[in-house]
Structure 1
Amino acid sequence: MNAKSFWPKLVPWRKDYRKADLPADALAAIIVTILLIPQSLAYAMLAGLPAQMGLYASILPLLAYAIFGSSRVLAVGPVAIISLLTASTISQYAGEQAIAAALLLAFLSGAVLLTMGLLRLGWLASLLSQPVMSGFITGSALLIAISQLKHFLAIPVSGHNLPEMFSTFLQASDQFNGVALLVGLLSLGLLLLCRRYFSTLLKHFGLSTDTANLLGKAGPILAVALAILGVQLFKLDQAGLSIVGQIPAGLPTLQLPETNWPLIQELLPAAIMISLIGFVESVSVAQSLAAKRRQRIEANQELMGLGAANIAAACSTGYPVTGGFARSVVSYEAGAVSPMAGVFTAFGIAITTLFLTPIFFFLPHATLAATIIVAVSTLIEWRSIIDTWRFSRIDFAALLCTLLFVLLQGVEAGIMAGVGISLALHLWKTSRPHIAEVGLVPGTQHFRNKDRHKVICSGAVLSARVDESLYFANIRYLEDALYGEAISREGIEHVVLMCSAINSIDYSALEGLESLNERLHHAGIQFHLSEVKGPVMDQLKQSNFLSDISGKVFLSQYQAFNQLCNELDATLTPRI
């Protein structure tokens, strides 16, 4: 196989890539590289790892994703949430052991993602509902922002939740450093001003709106440059200000993480959680950007791309990565056409690690902390919380519980609690399905809820519709509701269950229907079904239910109502 036929098959976007797209991808790469350098350093600090590991995690992972991923503009690398999860997972280790744990965590995350991709398990991400993700992301963003105050105050605060952080803060509050607070606040103020006014200022100098908006993203670089200059001019490091210090120059060493089976067993649960959360975050960003260009994202291919990126991170002294929101949006707005922009970005970061690391020697940790706070502030979804409260109290309960668990118990407990609460609330909600007595809309063959419409009902035929599939959690409620309503009315001879909203039944539901049929039969009432969907009918045919039912199975509710009323010559009563 020659190169011309090999590369399009290995890299799908390569087949329609044009040389004319190179300038756009190169420009986007320059902008993203400028954004990514301070972010990579800051997120490595957030993960509790040496600064250079943030840069290393932004080289080979980008190349791996460019080969195997499906998004054309997604920018892969360290992100805040995954860095926080990494820090929480490896916090019990120190020094070289922590680095080894981070490498192995990235490798396990990549292996989990690749396995999910090969098994086409992209649907597993749906287990994390949007309210749970909103609560998790908002809680994590608040936790990240609060955790960075230790760099503002120069107090060695530790812990994975608010109570632990507050406790250690009180114990070490005497170590407060005013210089660190001043540098942190100035950096934070500058970053916020750049975010709000820098683009407008650039427009006054004659730059186009698009160019000004793109260059406005370079605020972190400006803050970093001024902070480094300030430390050198005023020798703030001699006043107790914590700085990054020496960052080893050169490209990362390529090697597989050391196999440590006891450590693998300890890290695997966290790796699975990081994989799911990283996948959900990445796919949501990729899909929203792809939709703007009428492109498609293949969820299972994304699993392969992210898996390969994490394996690459593990083999190049990085740590777990995923698609980042901020840098992906910047890449999109900068005009990136293909993953080639990620390839160029990887080369830009590589050049930085080779030649530019001495520049960051005097970079204050307080400035990196300010960068993190400003970055995660966009993740706090206040609007989503308000909208969820208005739309569904049940979903809001899941969101709020997830958020509180993240803040009070930590990120792992938060996401596990959110998933558990969502499943529990779903079971509770579907265990009491909406059951409506329906009647015939005059002049039509349609049946509607008698409490909402003016319809015709029969004193001898009870027509009911259940708006839920039937399974073990709700069949007893349906059985008791229909039986209780039928025997409580005088003259009821038939019960017709309208099945238009039933998409499936399980074995427990089948037994419940058989029990309801038997109970009604003993009461002298015939039980009928109408509008049974094909898959449900196929299930019923695999049992004895159709031969044991006391009544019939009708094609439509109108047919059932009309035939039974004619047979009984039943009185029809309009109801409002």
Structure 2
Amino acid sequence: MIRLTRYLPIFDWGKSYTRETATRDLVAALIVTIMLIPQSLAYALLAGLPPEVGLYASILPLVAYALFGSSRVLAVGPVAVVSLMTASAVGEFAQQGTPEYLGAAIVLAFLSGLMLIAMGLLRLGFLANLLSHPVISGFITASGLLIAASQLKHVLGVPSHGHTLTEILLSLAQHLDAVNWITVFIGATVTAFLFWVRKGLKATLLGLGLAPFLSDILTKAGPVAAVVATTVLSNTLQLSDRGVRVVGDIPSGLPVPQLPGFDSELWLALAGPALLISVIGFVESVSVAQTLAAKKRQRIEPDQELIGLGSANIASALSGGYPVTGGFARSVVNFDAGAATPAAGAFTAAGIAFATLLLTPLLAHLPQATLAATIIVAVLALVDFGAVRRTFRYSKSDFSAMAATIAVTLLFGVESGVISGVVLSIALHLYRSSRPHMAIVGIVPGSEHFRNVDRHNVVTGETVLTVRVDESLFFANSRFLEDRIYALVAERPEVDHVILMCSAINAIDASALESLEEINQRLFDAGVTFHLSEVKGPVMDRLNRSDFPDQLTGRVFLSQYDALCTLDPPAVQMAGARTPARRAGAPG
């Protein structure tokens, strides 16, 4: 049973499902459904797909995640960044509006689902750590700007193309003489209205005396109100005859589940983009899920999240949808509305299915500018220039990686931005690890504590050199350690003992072991004895499986204070610390 709940969390939370819980989930589902209907249509437009595909991607995927996902409140469905990545990937192989384009998007979802499930079964959830937060933040900020720019063509009513910011802006500039001012009016009005709804409507309603719950529902229904109002206006005035582009006929009814077509050449070509979408979607989703779970003292399983998201993507492909993941805004709304279990997602799916069956014929006159405004308002919330400023003040290296990710994404496209972000994250980690912080330490007067000589008033003595390394030792930094110790010893001809203080070393790999053996031998040749202190138990266990402890010219001390008392008692006396009785015991 434990193994079953591991892969089907529904058997865990389903045991305690009550009427009260169902009520909370139904209320949350109502609010999220109201929010998701216009978003699904808009994000399908962003992906270059027919609007009904966004609805299809918001039905079965939610049910699949409710069965397999580990988060109680994550709201799965189409999201802006993944929609943009879908358009970028599929646009390389087919023309928008063709059956081949839709077929490629479905294959992309299916491949992404297979990859996510495979990663989950192989327990590769830790791969989310390969992307640093500044790089993720930079990528999302750049994607938000890119998405907003890509929607300006719908707000202006002009044709445009391009996958980079430069291409989009140049294309818009070339078509400015074709601007449809009625479309501009609709797009600008809806954008301003949605910004006001997001920022001020709820406070206004509360000020008028409305209950918080009703105020919240009306606020979330802002995009729906915009859709209804502009659709009625467009239909009444026949704006499509005046050059205003509308959504057009949307087929009613639910899709018939079917497997995507198999074309080995297409599948291989889409494998790379599918992997990038899988990684970005998972990172975005698991970050939101972990943040919200922590607020309720719950936990999620990253490996199970991979399986849950993979199942959702396969369900999307089988129902004629495109890649999906957990959305930040929807998940926060779901959380704030009181969702208690993933069943809220299943109830939301039922609401979207109802809308797909009965409401889609009413949306034929919906202006595309309205959906574009919905996207622009949603994605600009992702743009965080404050994070750029904070990162610049805190860490110039992190800022460099962040700025590079933003620049590459804007100038060369989303896929290049993702790849550069992964490469920069790994490169930044390796660079920092290859040059670990190393400090010469001395004893703090009147204590048994040791601190950096450059930061504290400490006593070091003459014949003992103690070096503390604040990083695990592995192949990337072992040579740096060697060079640093040789340089320090060369500067101090009076030194007879070198102690490597290992309090911050959590692991030593085979390359680092060879470096320690080389340091030991070269110091011996120079007449200097090499010692270790404060070696952690697991690290010492591994060293004991080698010949190094037998070859060590010095000793392994339980503490740095013991080492200094043994090797340089005058320094201890100079520091005014009492000399304790010898301590017994192996390094811990």
| Fold in common (TM above 0.5) | yes
1:390 lines up with 2:371 in the alignment: no
Pick the aligned partner of 1:183 from 186, 190, 201.
186
Map Cα deviations across residues 134-168 of structure 1 (whole Å, 9 max, x no partner): 00100000000011001112222111111222333
Structure 1: distance between partners of 2:137 and 2:341: 29
Q: 1:97 to 1:463 in 2, by over 3 A?
A: same
Structure 1: distance between partners of 2:83 and 2:491: 61
Pick the aligned partner of 1:313 from 312, 316, 327.
316
Question: Contact conserved, 2:460 with 2:571, CA < 8 A, in 1?
Answer: no
Per mean C-alpha deviation after superposition, the further-off stretch among 398-407 and 11-20 is 11-20
Structure 2: distance between partners of 1:573 and 1:457: 9
Structure 2: distance between partners of 1:327 and 1:449: 49
Structure 1: distance between partners of 2:460 and 2:317: 69
Q: 1:201 to 1:440 in 2, by over 3 A?
A: closer
1:457 lines up with 2:451 in the alignment: no
Name the amino acid aligned to 1:532: V
Matched with 2:151 is 148
Matched with 1:499 is 502
Structure 1: distance between partners of 2:267 and 2:547: 51
Matched with 1:261 is 264
Structure 2: distance between partners of 1:9 and 1:187: 41
Report sequence identity in percent: 54
Name the amino acid aligned to 1:308: S
Map Cα deviations across residues 321-374 of structure 1 (whole Å, 9 max, x no partner): 111111122222222222222111111111111111111111011110000000
Structure 2: distance between partners of 1:285 and 1:9: 18
Structure 2: distance between partners of 1:571 and 1:320: 65
Question: Contact conserved, 1:11 with 1:68, CA < 8 A, in 2?
Answer: no
How far did 1:503 drift? 1.1
Structure 1: distance between partners of 2:445 and 2:571: 16
Map Cα deviations across residues 211-257 of structure 1 (whole Å, 9 max, x no partner): 31332111101111111122122221111110000000100111011
Cα RMSD (Å): 2.0
Structure 2: distance between partners of 1:533 and 1:40: 53
Q: Where do 5+ consecutive residues of structure 2 fail to align?
A: 577-588
Map Cα deviations across residues 19-62 of structure 1 (whole Å, 9 max, x no partner): 22222222221211111110000000000000000000011111
Matched with 1:83 is 83
Pick the aligned partner of 1:560 from 552, 563, 570.
563
1:302 lines up with 2:305 in the alignment: yes
Name the amino acid aligned to 2:296: R
Q: 1:79 to 1:343 in 2, by over 3 A?
A: same
Matched with 1:207 is 210
Matched with 1:470 is 473
Structure 1: distance between partners of 2:60 and 2:147: 26
1:291 lines up with 2:289 in the alignment: no
Structure 2: distance between partners of 1:404 and 1:235: 42
Q: SS of 2:359's equivalent? A: helix
Structure 2: distance between partners of 1:480 and 1:562: 28
Matched with 1:197 is 200
1:61 lines up with 2:64 in the alignment: no
Q: SS of 1:528's equivalent? A: strand
Structure 2: distance between partners of 1:143 and 1:571: 63
Q: SS of 1:455's equivalent? A: coil
Map Cα deviations across residues 282-320 of structure 1 (whole Å, 9 max, x no partner): 111122222222222121221111111111000000011
Matched with 1:438 is 441
Structure 1: distance between partners of 2:447 and 2:573: 15
Per mean C-alpha deviation after superposition, the further-off stretch among 375-384 and 134-143 is 375-384
Once the two structures are superposed, the pairs formed by residues 295-444 of structure 1 within 5 Å of their partners are 295-444=298-447
Matched with 2:25 is 25
Structure 2: distance between partners of 1:10 and 1:65: 10
Structure 2: distance between partners of 1:571 and 1:360: 83
Q: SS of 1:457's equivalent? A: coil
Matched with 1:535 is 538
How far did 1:199 drift? 1.7
How far did 1:193 drift? 1.9
Question: Contact conserved, 1:435 with 1:466, CA < 8 A, in 2?
Answer: yes
Structure 2: distance between partners of 1:326 and 1:9: 24
Question: Contact conserved, 1:76 with 1:324, CA < 8 A, in 2?
Answer: yes
Structure 1: distance between partners of 2:337 and 2:170: 45
Name the amino acid aligned to 1:173: L
Q: SS of 2:530's equivalent? A: strand
Structure 1: distance between partners of 2:194 and 2:9: 44
